[in-house]
Every structure is written in structure tokens, then in C-alpha cells.
Chain A
Amino acid sequence: MKKRLFAIGITVCMVFLLAFASGCGKGSEKVVNVYNWGEYIDESVLKLFEKRTGIHVNYNTFETNESMYAALKNGGSNYDVIFPSDYMISRMIAENMLQPIDYQNIPNASKINLKDFNVQSALSYDPDGAYSVPYAWGTVGIIYNTKTVKNPVTSWGGLFDASNKGQILMFNNARDGIGIALKYLGYSLNTINKEEIKKATDLLIDQKQKGLVQAYVMDQIFEKMIGGEAAIGPYYAGDALTMIQENPDLAFCYPKEGTNLFVDAMCIPKNADNKENAGAFINFMCDPEIMVMNAKATGYAVPSRAAYELLDPEEQNSKLIYPDASVLKNCEIYKNLPQDVNAFYDSEWSRLTMAKSGS
């Protein structure tokens, strides 16, 4: 709880600082405008970068890929480095919103290689890395409270188990939420068959009407799981580790049906003003020591063998952060869906949110 409040406080301060900085920072000073996920960096890294390069960082954060996309699509915002996820990268490439990366400026990029971690399939969003340099990767699994969940959890079925009634948390967005039901039913996360998406939504509506679901959440899962308010829910492995550290009753599992694998990468938007500074920033972020600092702060996996070697042994051996090849083999990465399927996702999700919850 404290951590969350602190994070919100920091964000508020950052916004003010940013408004202030952008107001008076205009001049001949070198700047780079960075747009990253909230709580997805070790803040001291930014200070280090400023000290070493003399380039001032205007740092801003977003909550979801979609809000980042909307901010860029609307125009008005002007960023030099952004951190979208896999499917969003392919969407932005398709819509001509990114510019190719000039690797001449980024020698450290040679140290990045997802193949070292058996997740090469993930790179399908940008096969040659022409537009993106991986920053971190991770997986989604189930976090649950070993004290309150009676049946062993090995499958997404744990989230539909009547013995966990009223204690289940679910994702509060269409793609992730319906994705869980799709996986549980044995379909692909990237299906464009509307019948399958509809069946998955029906399953979620049934789950809600039976009163199994306590709440649909994103970030709020931290308080609810750590405080013992809820017993089971899906979340990102890196954050699950943070929760387990705060409440040792919690445990994590990779569902046997397979799950979602994601890669967040650094990209340069088409309209970036400071292309060279953006290259310097990306290069700095690819430095193995910096990668390790960030990985320690966020809990996510590094995409670089050189950085991996610098981690503590218990971090290297964490099956939660670096799952076995057998788990990864089962993972699927989100692909960018056709617009009509995206719209169908949204209307199906509205159908779920409008359904009355049973008790």
C-alpha cells in the first residue's frame, strides 16, 4: 500500500516537475523526451545518464499501450524514445508511426539477444529489430494465496473454480481479460475467429454471474493480494515476485494451458525531434550494468546475456522470472489484430461489464 501511494505521489511530482522543466528548459540545452511505463525503471538511471552525457531527460509515464498510442496518435505530444509492447510495435510499424533505428549510434545493442532466453519466437513483431530494441520481457501467470486457495493451482481453471468464489480477481481490460478465457478454452490468444472470442466472453460472463469474481483490476491487485483481500488472480511474473516478497503466503504458477509472453522494447517515433539523443539514451539503457539496475528495480527479465551474467545467482535461477524452456514453448505473444476484431473485443468486453454480478 505504502509503495503504491508513494508511486502515485512520485508520479504527481514528476508531472509538476515535467511541466516546470519543459517550461524553462527550452534553450540550447540538449534534451531527450522519454515516454515509459509507470514504475518501469530505476529512477537513478536517469540521473546517471544526465551526468554522463549532459543530455537532459524529460521523463513521462503511461499506464497502458493504448493510452500511449492515443497520446502519439492525437499528435501534440513529442517523444524521442517510447517503450511499447510487442503487438503495439507491429501496429505502430504498420501505421508508419516509428522510424528505423540507426544502430551506428547504439553499439550496446549488439549485447541484446532474446534468442539466448528461448524466446526468439517473440520477435515476430519486428523480426529484424529494424524499429525496436528490446528492453525487458516477461510472462503472465497466476498468483494465489496458499492459505486460502484449497485446490492445487496448475491451470487457468483456478480462476473459474467455485471453491474460490468471491475471492477471484480478473484483468480489467479486454485483450488480457478475454485472453485468459481463450487460453483456458484451448484457443489462441491471437484468434480472429469471433465465435471463439464470443465463447470466451460467455465463459467470463458466467464466471461473473456466479459471483466468482471479486473485482476486475489492474494495479489494484497489489493491495488486494498483499493484504489478503483476494485469494487468486492473474498478473505479470515480475510483479508477482514483488507481491510474494511482501506476503510470503503468496505463490505463483504457470498455467499448463500456456500463457502470454510479452516483450517491451524501445522505439523512436517518426516525429522525434532529437533522434541522436534518443540513440544515446537507448544505447545507455542497453549497457549491461544499467539493465541490471533496472531489472532489480522492476523485477522483469533482461533481454541480454551480458546483463544476465551480472545478476545475483538467486535472480538468475528464479524460475518465475526466467521460466524453463518447457513453459516458454507454451507461451504466445500478442499479435496486432485486425481493426474489426479489436472492435469486437471492445463490444464483447462491454457485454461482460454490463452483465450483473451474482452473489
Chain B
Amino acid sequence: MKKRGLAIPYIIWMAIFVVSPLIIVIIYAFTNETGQFSLEHFQGMGLYSGVFGTSFFLAFVATAFCLLIGYPLAYVLSRESPNVRKISLILIMLPMWMNFLLRTYAWMSILESNGFLNRFLVFIGLPPLHIINTEAAVVIGMIYNFLPFMVLPIYSVIIKIDHKVIEAAQDLGANSIVVFRRIIFPLSLPGVLSGITMVFIPSVSTFVISKLLGGGMTLLLGDLIETQFLGNTYNPHLGSAISLVMMAIVMICMAVMHRFGEGEEEAVLL
């Protein structure tokens, strides 16, 4: 009973800042300007299917890249000496101590046509790249900003894998590839799943990155929702409806993925 009491502050916090806003969003989404129940905002959603498509696609690409970069990094880190691990973890988290906006502004200066990257490419005799104001720039911004959220959960799971299990596999004649494929990877899956969740969700709903690095050329869901609140018309009902649909799709994606993840875990263990 006593232990349960410790959770009360958290429950109160969640109720005020997560559950009640969510209820407000739901109420707004299902009402119209006069406060009556209405589905009109959902019916007009088809107009924005392109925005949904682009947002989910870019978030998917960014998540895939984060996994490709983040998993090996987390794996290599976990095999290093404690001192190297400590310093590396600090380096990974270091950028997060700075404001998100500032970091994204800095990327603008790096990627611009006359930016640092292109000046460097020209300096070493390569042709300059056109990255800024494209979808590629948006994806780069997402990868940069959200990569730590992929590395950290995977790392913290791998580091806790019992060494005895790996030694046992080796004793039974497994080479390092088999050990990775059949022991380490399956055991690290919970970290991978939470990493994917933590990268995919902020990627799908971001709006600053597309504005700064995408030059406003591609409209993402976050931008679309922002426009409903801060645009020409103040329309919280449509904004809430779009948010709700986005949340529903994200939840379905996550549910499917976790199902798939669990299945895989069992399959490999068997």
C-alpha cells in the first residue's frame, strides 16, 4: 500500500498534463464551432492525405536511418571499457543540453548552398550538393535531433545482457555471428522497439525542422496542425481532429510493430 502512494505525484501529473489535455483534444475534435457534436472535421480530412503520407514516410526513413546508425553504435559502445563508455555517453547526450532550435538553426548554416558543407566540398574539389530546402534536409535534421533517443535505450538494454548467456553460447560452439544473431540481437529487441518508438513519434509530429531546414517547401503534419491554431483562421476543432487521426495512426503503427517484435523474439528463442 505504501509503495503505491509513491506513484501519486506521477498520477496527478499525468492526469493534469496528459489525460485532461487529451480529453480536451477529443472534445474539440468531435464538436463544431457552435459546440455541437459533429464529424465534419473528419470528413474533410481526405484533402490532407498527401500531408499524412509525406509525414509518415519521412518519419519512417528517419527512423530507419537512426536504427542503422544507432544500433551498431550502441553495440560497439557496450563492448568498450567503462571509461570510454562514460565519455561516449556524455558526448552523445551533450548536444541535448543545448536548445533544440539553436541546433536546428546551426544545421541551416551547415547545409545551405554557401554553407559549411558545400564550402568544404568545393575546397576539396568536389561538386557542391543541393540539400537545404529539400526533404533530404528535413530527414537529416530529424536523424540528428532524434538519434540519441535510439542509441540510449538500445545501449541500456545491451549492456545488461547477462554475459553468462553469451559465454554459454560460445561454449556450445557458436561463432560471433551466431552469438549476435541468436543471443544479442533477440535480447536487445526491447531496446530497439522503444528506440523506434522514441524516434518515430517526434519525427512524425515535428514542425520546426521542416520550417527551418525544409524551407517551408514540404508541409508536414506538425505544420498543418500548427496552421490550424496559429494560421489565418483560428480553428482548434480541425486542428484537434487532425491530431487525433495522427495519434490513432501512430498507435496502430506501434501496436503492429510490437506484435511483430514479440513474435520475432519468440520465434528466434524457439
- Tell me the complex Cα distance, A21–B228, Å: 32
Q: Judging by beta carbons under 8 Å apart, are A350 and B219 in contact?
A: yes
Within 8 A of A (CB), among B23-76: 47-48, 50-51
The reply to whether A172 and B211 form a contact with Cβ atoms under 8 Å apart is: yes
- Say whether B233 contacts A5, CB under 8 Å: no
Assembled-state Cα–Cα distance A357/B229 (Å) = 26
What is the predominant secondary structure among interface residues of chain A facing chain B?
Answer: helix
The answer for the CA separation of A215 and B108 in the assembled complex, in Å, is 12
Contact A213-B108, Cβ < 8 Å, known A67-B230, A227-B114:
no
Q: Are B230 and A70 in contact (CB under 8 A)?
A: yes
Task: Please name all residues of chain A whose beta carbon is closer than 8 Å to the beta carbon of B223 when the two chains form the complex.
Answer: 353
Is the CB of A160 closer than 8 A to any CB of chain B? no
A345 engages B230 (CB within 8 Å)? no
Q: For the complex formed, measure the closest distance between the CB of B46 and the CB atoms of chain A, giving whole angstroms.
A: 12
Taken together as a complex, chains A and B put the C-alpha atoms of A342 and B112 apart, in Å, by: 34
A8, A217, A223, A350: the one contacting B227 at CB < 8 Å is A350
Instruction: Report chain A residues within 8 Å CB of B145.
Output: none
Interface pair B112/A229, CB less than 8 Å apart = yes
Give bound CA distance, A172 to B218, whole Å: 12
- Give A343 Cβ to nearest chain B Cβ, in Å: 5
Q: How far is the CB of A129 from chain B (nearest CB, A)?
A: 26
Q: Considering the chains assembled together, what is the distance between the CA atoms of A12 and B100 in angstroms? A: 12
Q: How far is the CB of A351 from chain B (nearest CB, A)?
A: 9
A73 is an interface residue with CB less than 8 A from chain B: yes
Q: How far is the CA of A100 from the CA of B82 in the complex (A)?
A: 68
CB distance from A86 to the nearest CB of B (A): 15
Known: A8-B102, A229-B113. A353 touches B232 (CB 8 A): no
Bound Cα distance A343, B217 (Å): 21
Instruction: Flag whether B202 is at the interface (Cβ < 8 A).
Output: no
Name the distance in Å between A94's Cβ and chain B's nearest Cβ.
Answer: 13
Cβ of B224 within 8 Å of any chain A Cβ, yes or no, is yes
Q: Would you call B216 and A175 a contact (CB within 8 A)? A: no
Residue of A with least CB distance to B101? A8
Please, which residues of chain A bring their CB within 8 A of the CB of B227?
A: 346, 349-350
CB-CB < 8 A to B212: which residues of A? Answer: 220
Q: Which residue of B lies closest to A73 (CB)?
A: B234
A55 within 8 A of B: no
Q: Per-residue CB proximity of B166-186 to A under 8 Å, as 1/0?
A: 000000000000000000000
B217 touches A229 (CB 8 A): no
Task: For B223, give the chain A residue with the smallest CB separation.
Answer: A353
Whether A350 and B229, one on each chain, are in contact in the complex, defined by CB atoms closer than 8 angstroms, is: no
Query: A73 to chain B: which residues have CB within 8 Å?
Result: 234
In the complex where A8-B105, A227-B114, A229-B113 touch, is A217 in contact with B216 (Cβ < 8 A)? yes
Out of A4, A175, A229, name the residue touching B232 (CB < 8 Å). Answer: A175
Distance in angstroms from A359 CB to nearest chain B CB is 8
Query: With the chains together, A67 CA to B229 CA distance in Å?
Result: 8
B133 CB contact (under 8 Å) in A8, A9, A173, A215: A215
Contact yes or no, A342 B133, CB < 8 A: no
A218 to chain B, nearest CB (A): 9
Contact of B219 with A70 in the complex, beta carbons under 8 Å: no
- Residues of chain A with a CB closer than 8 A to B233's CB: 339, 342-343, 345-346
Contact with A along B108-125 (1 / 0, CB 8 A): 110011110000000000
A215 and B232 contact, CB distance less than 8 A: no
Q: Which chain B residues border A24 with CB–CB below 8 Å?
A: none
Residues 319-353 of A, flagged 1 when their CB comes within 8 A of B and 0 if not, give 00000000000000000000100110111011001
User: B residues within 8 A CB of A342?
Assistant: 232-233
Q: Does A214 contact B (CB under 8 A)?
A: yes
CB-nearest residue of chain B relative to A69? Answer: B234
Looking at B48, B51, B211, B223, the one whose CB has the most chain A CB atoms below 10 A away is B211
* A174 is an interface residue with CB less than 8 A from chain B: yes
Chain B residue numbers with a CB within 8 Å of A70 are 229-230, 234
Q: Determine if A220 and B217 form an interchain contact, defined as CB atoms under 8 angstroms apart.
A: no
Q: How far is the CB of A59 from chain B (nearest CB, A)?
A: 20
Q: How far is the CB of B113 from chain A (nearest CB, A)?
A: 6
Give A342 to B228 CA distance when docked, in angstroms: 11
- State whether A66 and B105 are in contact (beta carbons under 8 Å apart), knowing that A216-B217, A229-B112 are contacts in the complex: no
A163 on interface, CB distance cutoff 8 Å = no
Mark each residue of chain B from 193 to 234: 1 if its CB lies under 8 Å from any CB of chain A, else 0.
000000000000000000110011111000110011111111
A213 touches B232 (CB 8 A): no
Q: Are A354's CB and B230's CB within 8 A?
A: no
Task: Specify which of B48, B113, B211, B230 is in contact with A66 (CB 8 Å cutoff).
Answer: B230
Interchain CA distance A45-B47 in the complex, whole Å: 48
Query: Can you report 8 A-B residue pairs in the complex whose CB atoms are below 8 A from each other?
Result: A5-B105, A66-B230, A67-B230, A220-B108, A227-B114, A229-B115, A346-B235, A354-B50
**Among all A-B residue pairs, the 9 with the closest Cβ atoms:** A215-B215, A216-B216, A353-B219, A342-B233, A172-B216, A67-B230, A174-B232, A345-B232, A215-B133
Other A-B contacts than A174-B231, A229-B114, 20 sampled, CB-CB below 8 A, are A5-B102, A5-B105, A67-B230, A70-B229, A173-B231, A213-B217, A214-B215, A215-B215, A216-B215, A216-B216, A216-B217, A223-B109, A227-B114, A229-B112, A343-B232, A346-B231, A346-B233, A349-B231, A353-B216, A354-B219
